[in-house]
Amino acid sequence: MNLKHLSFSLALTGLSIVSLTTQAQAYKFNFIGSNNNTYNFELVTEGPDDIIEENDQLSITGFNEISEIKLTNFIDDVPGVLLASDSFKTSSYTPDTAFFTATASFAGISRPTRYQTFSITTTGTPTGVPSGFVNASFRGNFLDPTPVPEPLTILGSLAALGFGSRCQKEFAKKKSANAEETVEEA
C-alpha cells in the first residue's frame, strides 16, 4: 500500500467530515457556529423566486431540552449579500423544536439574501444536537439536514490530518534514503 496515498486519503476524509455542506436548493439553512449551549443558524434564499410570505414558519428540530430561542442580526462582509433585519419573530418552542414566524412578506432579489440569525439555547452540557444534525422545515417543506460539527469530530479530523502529515514526512525520508543507497550502489 502506498503510504503517500494513505496519508492523502486520511487527510481528505478528515476535511470532508469537517466541511460537510448541504445540497443546493432555493432555501438553505446553515449552521454558523455555537457558543457553549447556544447554536446559531441562518436562512439563506438564493434568488428572485424565493419569496417569503407573512406568517410562513420555520421549524427547527433535533435538539434536547431547549431553554431559549431568539433572533439576532447576523452581519458579515460577504459581498453581494443583503441582510434582512427583523424578518422573523420567535414563535414558540418545545423541548426539541424551535418555531420562528415571518413578520411580513419579502420579495426575492436576484442574489442570495441572508436573514436573521436563529439562536437556540439548550440546558446542561452541550448535548443538544446528539446526532450532529438539525432538521429545518420552512413553509412546510423539509430542507436538507444541517450538519453541526461536534467537538470530537473536529478533534478526530485534526488528528487524522496530523497523522497523514507525519506519515508523508516519514515516507519522504525513506524515499530519500533509498535514492541515496541506489546512487551509492551505482
pLDDT digits (tens, 9 = 90+) for 104-116: 988 878 888 888 8
Domain region containing 2: 1-20+149-186
Together in a domain, 183 and 120: no
Instruction: Mark whether 116 and 162 lie in a shared domain.
Output: no
Same domain, 30 and 44: yes
Average pLDDT, the chain: 73
Pair (85, 115) in one structural domain? yes
Judgement on whether residues 49 and 15 belong to the same structural domain of the protein: no
Confidence bin at 131 (pLDDT 50/70/90): low
Place of cell 457553549: 36
**Cβ atoms 81, 111 nearer than 8 A:** yes
The C-alpha angle with vertex 76 and arms to 70 and 79, in degrees rounded to 5, equals 140
- Residue 22 has a pLDDT of 35
3-state SS of 25-75 is CCEEEEEEEEECCEEEEEEEECCCCCCECCCCEEEEECCCCEEEEEEECCC
65-84 pLDDT tens trace: 889 999 987 767 677 788 88
The torsion region of residue 176 among left (phi > 0), alpha (psi -120 to 50) and beta comes to alpha
Instruction: State the average pLDDT over residues 96-109.
Output: 89
Same domain, 182 and 141: no
Q: How many CB atoms lie within 10 A of CB 80?
A: 7
Give me 29's grid cell.
439553512
State whether 51 and 96 are in the same domain: yes
Share of the chain above pLDDT 90, in %: 12
Cβ pair 60, 132 in contact under 8 A = no
Q: Say whether both 5 and 62 belong to one domain.
A: no
Check pLDDT > 70 for residue 152: no
Domains identified in the chain, total number: 2
Are 122 and 153 contained in the same domain? no
